[in-house]
Amino acid sequence: MFWILINCFGISVCIWVYYKWTRVKRYWAEKGVPHLTPHPILGSLSFLQRENPGVWMRKIYENHKHPYLGVWWFWRPALIVNSPDIARNVLVKDFPVFRDRFLSSGKTDPIGGLNLFTTNDPLWSWIRRRLAPIFTASKLRALQNLFDTKSKELIQRINNEKDKTKINLKIVFTDFTTDIIGIASFGIASDSTLTGEGPMRTVTHGFMNFDLYRGLCWSNIEVSEDVIVAQAAAFVLGGFDTSGSSLTMAIYELAFHPQIQDKLYKEIKQEVDDGTGILNVTKLAEATYLNCVIKETLRKFSPMGWLDRVALNDYRVDENLIISAGTPVYINAIGMQYDPELFPEPERFIPERFLPENKMDIKSFTYMPFGDGPRNCIGQRFAVL
């Protein structure tokens, strides 16, 4: 009798799973939405461990010429948006519906789950209001001496290593950005720009290495302390690697385009360098071609190729589609930034596309390396400096 009950239970579970899966895989088809064919376990996530998510997003954009595409994160339906007009609605016009992000570190990581990048309302609004004054123009200009010192140390580091067969630029630049963020944010002195070592560099080296244990334990400290620690961690994690990677790729592109390098050098010598050996941050911000080089680097090598949001209630995407509350929505920014109709010859490094006279050629909400709308990157100006 016992085994009969076990068998009946097993059959019932199998029937329920099959019925559930049948409903899941028909979800987007029943709404008339173009969609990928889901894997029975992973949904649309079968590319994981095989392909970079940013590359996958580009392929989605190139292979599916639709304003949006239905996918599944395991069995959860999600929507990828390839349209700048819908992106504007999600990120700005209808922001109250999309205040929250779907990305989360989970309940087992209270520190990761409470930082500005991943937390949701009402805590997100509270944190954002209190962190915004940190990034005012006057406070950023006050970092002039720090930028000067660390830039000189960076040059010294490169000179010290120039006889090596190879220099790992990513390591050198993340040593540099770690020092700047550590001193600017926490007042922690560090010489990792020169030596590759320091207290903050030990921390960021840990961030660069995947650890299965990370995020699997609970914290016993008070929530208020959790929030403070979470923002500190976000400042470091969100800045040192993204800025270091952008510097690396900018140098990489300049090395292959000496004519662009020469043009940039001449602009800095003529418009920024006053003979003191100090590059004034205010003048740098006004250097037209320098900013074009930065923007083109971020177009080709965006720190994050998509922007995720989650619908707080049922939402009409267009006249053909209403998505349910709780549906994750992903703006395919990297796909649009490689669209040849929006950015001709997207594989080429062409800073001139961002010159003031070409500004009107760039459609709104097709270039978003720092996000857009009220939840854009709070440290954008700091990162560019």
Residue 233 gets which letter from DSSP? H
Residue 217: pLDDT band with limits 50, 70, 90? very low
Percent of residues, the chain, with pLDDT higher than 70 = 82
pLDDT of residue 213: 45
As a CATH number, domain 83-384 is 1.10.630.10
Residue 373 identity (one-letter amino acid): G
DSSP conformation class of 218: -
State residue 154's pLDDT score.
Answer: 92
Which amino acid, residue 277?
A: G
The three-class DSSP label of residue 177 is helix
pLDDT(212) > 60: no
Q: How far is 365 from 90, CA to CA, in rounded Å?
A: 11
Across the chain, the runs of DSSP E, i.e. the strands, are 68-73, 76-81, 307-310, 315-318, 321-323, 328-331
Residue 8 annotated as lining a ligand binding site: no
Lowest mean pLDDT among 78-87, 240-249, 284-293: 240-249
Q: What is the mean pLDDT of residues 7-13?
A: 58
How does pLDDT run across 23-36, given as a tens digit for each residue? 777 888 888 889 88
Question: Which sequence spans correspond to the domains of the chain?
Answer: 83-384
- Around Cβ 77, how many Cβ atoms within 10 Å? 22
pLDDT for 219 equals 39
In the sheet where 307-310 sits, what is the strand order? Answer: 68-73, 76-81, 328-331, 307-310
For 78-129, the pLDDT digits (tens) are 999 999 999 999 999 999 999 988 877 666 666 666 666 677 778 778 777 8
Instruction: Identify the top-confidence range among 1-10, 202-211, 222-231, 250-259.
Output: 250-259
The whole-angstrom separation of Cα 54 and Cα 61 is: 11
How does pLDDT run across 67-87, given as a tens digit for each residue? Answer: 999 998 988 999 999 999 999
Phi, psi dihedrals of residue 284, rounded to the nearest 5°: -60, -40
> Confidence band (pLDDT; 50, 70, 90) for 223?
very low
Give the Cβ contact number of residue 238 at 10 Å: 20
